[in-house]
Structure 1
């Protein structure tokens, strides 16, 4: 039976014969402004064309054979799909009751229990079997719980655990990797990303979608680490977003994968009386690259994350000039790397002060911009040093740029003097 959930207008254009449904209505009832609008229609193509005629934008088929169309206009995405059966039939096929909503004639209607779920801000499946109709729905449930601050009643948790076990037993049922990537990206870009990842592990979905991270759970570290490797990872992700709420996806992924190499490199060192993880950053970088490649993340994302994981254990030098050299050599990783390194320290015990010192030094260094190019060109270097084109010219330019970063060189005259001294001090 359908219930009137709330009397209210729908503040977006609705073509004739179309009905707004799903998450946009949920967001409105939760006090949020939706960006993605879903409509069911008797004739989706006609409704999409009518909307384009009224709003403009770009219209294209998502799946013309199934009657799925998308209109992108301004910051909005409008998706049109066929109405199969009645509106109640449509709602009964949806994933969670707070998403099983439609708008008609000034009111939002839903299934029995939807109004209660919205009031309590909890996520309850329409029917457990609906999770199996689209295998992504359990992962989406965790993402919605994290991003919208929704609770998961114990019955919902048990349903999601059963679905996770089913997916582990039937890998052929897994959703397309691109769809998994999009859900994981949305989860990580949430301010409550660490909470969402913790939910994934508790519900058994970490083993389904990010199995390379599962060995971190319960993995003892020792030393400055009072948390096991998984809880430390969640703490680092939490602290990264605490320090830098605008952190991009690459930095968040690097926090998630920064210690993934530890279970593969753990060795007990009797000389120090504890476990050590020599080389875990290099190993972790390759694991992260492979995992993100499997999930079809863009190549540039894979490379940036791998570089951050590889460099997260680097020790910044104390001396100011050397510190600026350190930053220059890694400037393509700024500001992600300093924030990741600081978050890593905040996720440990007894080294928290290093995090604030590192960020303070990075801030001070940023007040005097690092040089972006050498003061002399390659042709000028060749003429000055009598060099032919080749690797030696590149080494000279790199040495000059590093000297500029240190503050030892600030003019063309000083650059020439530095290079002459540099050339004279190198073996013939």
Structure 2
């Protein structure tokens, strides 16, 4: 029997014959502004068309054979599904009690226990067997917990762990990789991403969806590292978001994968009396790219994350000119690279102060924007140096642009003088 959870209006247009259900009501109860609205309707297509007539937007089928339609109107996404059986029967098929909500007659209704879940701010499955009706639900539970600041009580964690073991034993039941990618992306972009990754590991879901990261768990590092490689990774992810709250997905993926190469490069060095991980950035970059492409992340996302992982061990030089040249050569990775470097240092003990030095020096070095174009065009370079079109013109322009970044030339006249000197045998610092 459904129970009233709260008396309140539903602040969005509702077509005739449609009942608002699901996560939008949960968000309203948690004081959040929902953007995704779900409706159960006896005739989903008719309800969706009525909503389109009122709100405009684009209407298309998600699964026409199952009567599922989506309307995108501005920032709102409205999903319409058939109401099968009674409203209570519909809610009993949903994943978690805080998602098994419906609005009717000015009241939000829910199943037994939903009001207690709301008070405690926890996620509890409607029924454990419901996790097996859509195998993405266990991963979604972790993502919702991290995104909404909800707890996973012991009964829920145990249910997720049992589901994880099932998925490991039945890989044919795994959800489509595109769906997994979307949940992982939302998890990484959530306010408590590091805690969410910790939950993935504790429930066994890390082994299901990100098995390449499992060898980091318990991997002792030594040196300045007081945390094992997995806890260090979580610390870096946490500190990246702390330093740079708007950090994009590629930067967060790089933080997650930055040390994935360590288990593959771990070697004991008797001279220093501890294990070392020489080349782990390069090896980890390859692992990161392969893993992200397998998960169907866009190629440009995988390549950028790979480059960040590969470069995260680079040490910025001293001196403004050298530092500007350093960041100019890595300008496609800015500002993610220095933030990743700083977060990596904050996840250690004894060199945390270097984090602030990295960020301070980066900000100082790039106070004057790095140049986008050289002072001279290709035609001007060819005329000045007597060159024909070819690779040497490109090298000359690259040399000039780097000299501008260093601050060695500040006008077209100085650029011409430097190029003539270079052509006459002066040293090209980019060579």
Specify the alignment match of 1:334 in structure 2: 334
Q: CA RMSD in A?
A: 0.9
Deviation string 1:136-188 (CA, Å, 9 cap, x unpaired) is 00000011111111111111111110000000000000001011011111110
- Which ranges of structure 1 fall in alignment gaps of 5 or more residues? none
Contact 2:146–2:195, Cα closer than 8 Å, also in 1: yes
Secondary structure, counterpart of 1:226 in structure 2: coil
CA distance in 2 between partners of 1:254 and 1:230 (Å):
14
CA distance in 2, matches of 1:219, 1:329: 33
Q: Across the two proteins, how many residue pairs are aligned to each other?
A: 427
Which residue in the other structure is 1:362 paired with?
362
* 2:15 aligned with 1:15: yes
Residue-by-residue CA offset, 1:101-157 (whole Å, 9 max, x unaligned): 111111111110001100110111000000001000000001111111111111111
What SS does the corresponding residue of 1:129 show, helix, strand or coil? helix
Q: How is 1:27-426 mapped onto 2 (pairs within 5 angstroms)?
A: 27-425=27-425
Quick one: distance in 1 between partners of 2:358 and 2:29? Answer: 44
SS in 2 for 1:60: strand
SS in structure 2 at match of 1:375: coil
Shift of 1:378: 1.2
> 1:332-391, CA deviations, whole angstroms, 9 ceiling, x for partnerless residues?
111000100000000111111111011011111221111111111111111111222221
Mapped to 2, the partners of 1:74 and 1:83 lie a distance apart of: 26
> In the aligned structure 2, how far is the partner of 1:424 from the partner of 1:342?
42
Length-normalised TM-score, structure 1: 0.99
Structure 1 residue 426: deviation in Å?
A: 5.8
Take 1:131 and 1:64, find their aligned partners in 2: how far apart are those partners?
24
| Partner secondary structure for residue 222 of structure 2 | coil
Q: Secondary structure at the match of 1:99?
A: coil
Shift of 1:424: 1.4
1:202-240 alpha-carbon deviations (Å, 9 max, x no partner) = 000000000000000001111111100000000000000
Contact 2:97–2:114 under 8 Å retained in 1? yes
Distance 2:100 2:64 in 1: 24
Report the Cα distance in structure 1 between the residues aligned to 2:297 and 2:209, rounded to whole angstroms: 14
Distance 1:134 1:196 in 2: 20
Equivalent-residue separation in structure 2 for 1:404 and 1:367 (angstroms): 14
CA distance in 1, matches of 2:180, 2:369: 39
Alpha-carbon separation, structure 1, partners of 2:234 and 2:119: 30
* Aligned-partner Cα distance in 2 for 1:425–1:376: 20
C-alpha contact (below 8 Å) 2:324/2:366 kept by paired residues? no
Task: Name the SS of the counterpart of 1:338 in structure 2.
Answer: helix
Q: Distance in 2 between matches of 1:37 and 1:196?
A: 24
TM-score, length basis structure 2: 0.98
Q: Distance in 2 between matches of 1:364 and 1:390?
A: 36
Aligned partners of 2:6 and 2:107 also within 8 Å = yes
**Cα contact 2:321–2:407 (8 A) shared by 1:** yes
Structure 2 distance, partners of 1:198, 1:356, is: 26
CA distance in 2, matches of 1:362, 1:266: 31
